[in-house]
Amino acid sequence: MRRSRLPRLSSVAIAVVQKRITSESQKERKMQLEGKTALITGAGRGIGKGCAVELARAGAKVVINDRPGSADAVSTADEIRSLGGEVTVVEGDVFSRSGCEQLVRDALHAVERIDILVSNPALGVRCRFLDFDADDFERIIQATLTGGFHMSQLVARHMVEQGGEGKIVFISSVQAEMPMANSVAYGAAKAGLNHMARTISVELSQYKINVNVIEPGWIDTPGEHESFGEEVIRREAASLPWGRLGTPSDIGRAAAFLSSDAADYITGSVLCVDGGFRFKDCRADEIIPAKK
């Protein structure tokens, strides 16, 4: 019995099909956040930029914040516009209550409502505990933990006034759970941020406002290159379970998911996006030599 042979598609036909699949996939992805407005703090570069770009890719209108006079924010906005996204830049200091209040006022003046907040407060000083300056410790707690409180409270009040519903995503760190030398203040601030977010999620659940946390691992940002240098980054990246550092886009895609309707039943959760960084020393070949 002869088997019937399926017709072979030409390379042109295959290309057309692939293009159509890609187009539909991109359209579906864009629809995730279409009609939503997101405010992302610290969006000039690094993780904040990655979040802004990916939320814009997913269809959100984005308001990006960075420190006053930041050329990075302008660059991020230009990139988002080049992708066809709608973006507004609002400068402001998120390390103070007055700065956060002004930022939220300016953002609402520009876009009228905020459906999503990605709170990306970060200030770090690497120093040994015994030598750590007390003023630096307080500045880091103020910027990372207290700044996150100010932004989330102000935006949550707006969400409640609008009738409830919304998404708040905090950017934390694996250092919230992993004690790392020379990072006593940063780790403490991020651990506090995690607990604060869970508590906020309990209180805001009645308003159907989702509150979640992302814990990035070692992410390939300009700040990491400035701190460690190219040689260290290249060497250490190869030793990680995924064979590379994470990218700001890795974190941005996680933020887009937690900001979408697909995450409507997720709140009070901590999503670790680290490519196995936490467990890099737990692999069998790191503990017991493989048998030859």
Q: Which residues are catalytic?
A: 186
87 backbone dihedrals φ, ψ, rounded to 5°: -145, 145
Give the three-class secondary structure for 106.
Answer: helix
* DSSP per-residue codes, 139-208: HHHIIIIIHHHHHHHHHHHHHHHTTS-EEEEEE--GGGTS--TT-HHHHHHHHHHHHHHHHHHHHHGGGT
Residue 36, CA distances (Å) to 115, 205, 222, 239 in order:
6, 20, 29, 40
Closest C-alpha to 43, from 230, 169, 204: 169
Residue 88, SS3 per DSSP? strand
- Asked whether the beta carbons of 214 and 168 are under 8 A apart, the reply is no
DSSP strand pairing (209-216 vs 87-91): unpaired
